[in-house]
């Protein structure tokens, strides 16, 4: 396993009127932050709020290219990001309060379970669990980027970001967050940045994603 210290390249906040950052997602233009009673769309470069949607937002957030998905209580809501209208709901795979991260990939939703130390792949229409990946630490945010599955952890007041084998759950790479910095939500910009929710700090941080150099063409 490759292990290094996370490179925190930006920090925003504490965000205005945000007691805790829960889920984090990215739609290509906005970073969406779950702030308990609302979803905020932030500028990814400045952290400034652009607009808000009045929906319950207590845990993970995801974007499928058209819709937002948001965990609150024991439901995942499918939301129109333009109007904030809830279009559909499905049950969460874990008990209320233990669902954490949320991501979209391969036509499925991926739900982190905090104390359950699991990531579930679920059907976005029915909520049926398709498979489960075990983790060795409490799971917070979940994201996919370029075929890689990453998740955040939070245990004993310390966090790291882990790239894991989606078949076995084995940790392939680990980025240790600096002392005092914890991770709630996690999302990739699809390139070289991770957006990390800062939990009760009310902050949003950007972490550089390590990208191995490409081999020269033969």
- The average pLDDT across 55-75 equals 97
Say if residue 215's pLDDT is above 60: no
- The average pLDDT across 138-166 equals 96
- The average pLDDT across 5-16 equals 96
**What is the distance between the alpha carbons of residues 64 and 104, in angstroms, rounded to a whole number?**
6
Q: Which two tokens stand for residue 77?
A: 């809501």
- Flag the least confident range among 24-38, 86-100, 124-138, 173-187: 86-100
pLDDT band at 67 (very low <50, low <70, confident <90, very high): very high
Taking alpha carbons only, the member of 208, 212, 214 closest to residue 188 is 208
**H or E element at residue 174:** strand 171-176
State the pLDDT at residue 218. Answer: 45
CB 110, CB 103: distance < 8 Å: yes
Who contacts 156 (Cβ-Cβ below 8 Å, separation ≥6)?
none
Q: Where are the domains of the chain?
A: 2-208
State the pLDDT at residue 97. Answer: 73
Taking alpha carbons only, the member of 44, 41, 22 closest to residue 183 is 22
CB 8, CB 194: distance < 8 Å: no
Percent of the chain residues past pLDDT 90, beyond the cut: 93
* Mean of per-residue pLDDT scores for the chain: 95
- Flag the least confident range among 45-54, 79-88, 96-105, 133-142: 96-105
- The average pLDDT across 101-112 equals 97
Which class in CATH covers the domain with range 2-208?
A: mainly beta
pLDDT band at 41 (very low <50, low <70, confident <90, very high): very high
CB 177, CB 158: distance < 8 Å: yes
């Amino acid at each position: 396993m490759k292990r290094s210290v996370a490179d925190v390249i930006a920090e925003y906040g504490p965000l205005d009127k945000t007691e805790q950052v829960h889920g984090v997602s990215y739609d290509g233009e906005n970073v969406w932050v779950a702030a308990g009673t609302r979803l905020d769309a932030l500028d990814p470069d400045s952290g400034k709020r652009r607009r808000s949607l009045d929906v319950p937002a207590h845990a993970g957030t995801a974007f499928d290219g058209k819709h937002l998905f948001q965990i609150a209580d024991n439901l995942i809501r499918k939301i129109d990001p333009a109007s904030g209208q809830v279009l559909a709901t499905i049950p969460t795979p874990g008990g209320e309060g233990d669902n954490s991260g949320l991501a979209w990939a391969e036509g499925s939703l991926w739900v982190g379970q905090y104390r359950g130390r699991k990531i579930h792949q679920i059907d976005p229409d029915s909520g049926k669990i398709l498979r489960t990946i075990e983790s060795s630490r409490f799971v917070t945010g979940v994201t996919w980027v370029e075929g890689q599955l990453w998740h955040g952890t939070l245990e004993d007041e310390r966090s790291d970001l882990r790239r894991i084998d989606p078949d076995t759950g084995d940790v392939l790479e680990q980025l240790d967050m600096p002392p005092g910095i914890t991770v709630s939500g996690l999302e990739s910009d699809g390139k070289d940045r991770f957006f990390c929710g800062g939990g009760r700090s009310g902050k949003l941080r950007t972490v550089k994603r390590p990208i191995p150099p490409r081999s020269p063409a033969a």
